[in-house]
Structure 1
Amino acid sequence: MQYLVKFNAAGKRETTLVQGIHYNTEEEQQVYIKDGYTLISDEDYQYYIGNRGAGDNGTGYIRDPKTGKPVSAPPAPPVEEEPQEPPVDTERLAVYEAMAAQEERLAAQAERIAALEATLKAKGGESK
């Protein structure tokens, strides 16, 4: 069986056409070849689809532009892990913000009460 495959600039298989399904005649095949498709054997196709393993780097196979044959794809680039922020429970956050606001109001009230008691004491009155 023969396949027409379109490879990207890095040699990765992008589109595959199968003889007898996508095209039947030599003329149809030539139209695809003029459109950038490459005729490959069934054996090479098996590499590109992963039936011959994942290559030396575990990333599959690409087409070597010099030989036209499958070669191991380069290793995958390292992935930099971004620090994961813990999920925010918006309801719980709203409760904590309300509690903090209430504490600020209570502290302000306590300061006013202390000031009033000091004023009352200074005038000779008693405080509780």
Structure 2
Amino acid sequence: MKTEYLAKFNSSGCRETTVVSGVHYTTDEERQAYIDDGYIPISDEDYQHYIGNRGMGDNGTGYLRDPKTGKPVSAPPAPPVQATEEPTANVPETELAVMEGMVDMQSRIAALEAELAKLKGGK
């Protein structure tokens, strides 16, 4: 039995899921249930495009199913990202004071450890 792929696409042509003969269905009745649920047969080569094994298309965004031809076509470019203001940290003053105290405490501990090492004959 030749491997058959049945794929389901959303209204934009994006592949949502794929089932494979011999894995997800083995009988004509099981296959028909997928067809009745909106799955369509696609070739192995088309499947390889949809999963990215044939590159990411002309725009680097993968492939969609063309509703007219039923074949993979390059997806449109991703929309540009709008520049936003640099996010600012909104840390409460009490948390900031605790963090600063911890940093200060760590430097004091390091200084004490260095002093102790000198007393014990180290550098």
TM over 0.5: yes
| Equivalent position amino acid for 2:14 in 1 | K
**After the TM superposition, which residues 102-121 of structure 1 pair with which residues of structure 2 at under 5 Å, given as runs?**
none
Q: Which has the larger radius of gyration?
A: 1
Structure 2: how far apart are the matches of 1:72 and 1:84? 34
Following superposition, the deviation at residue 89 of structure 1 comes to 3.2
Q: How many residues align?
A: 95
AA paired with 1:4? Answer: L
Is 1:61–2:63 an aligned residue pair? yes
TM-score by length of 1: 0.68
Give unmatched runs, 5+ long, in structure 2. 98-123
Whether 1:49 and 2:30 are equivalent positions in the alignment is: no
Q: Which runs of 5+ in 1 are unaligned?
A: 96-128
Mapped to 2, the partners of 1:47 and 1:93 lie a distance apart of 51
Aligned to 2:11: 9
Identity, % of aligned pairs?
A: 64
Aligned to 1:98: none
Distance, in Å, in 1 between the alignment partners of 2:50 and 2:96 is 54
Secondary structure of the structure 2 residue equivalent to 1:14 = strand
What does residue 107 of structure 1 align with?
none
CA distance in structure 2 between the aligned counterparts of 1:63 and 1:85, rounded to whole angstroms: 38
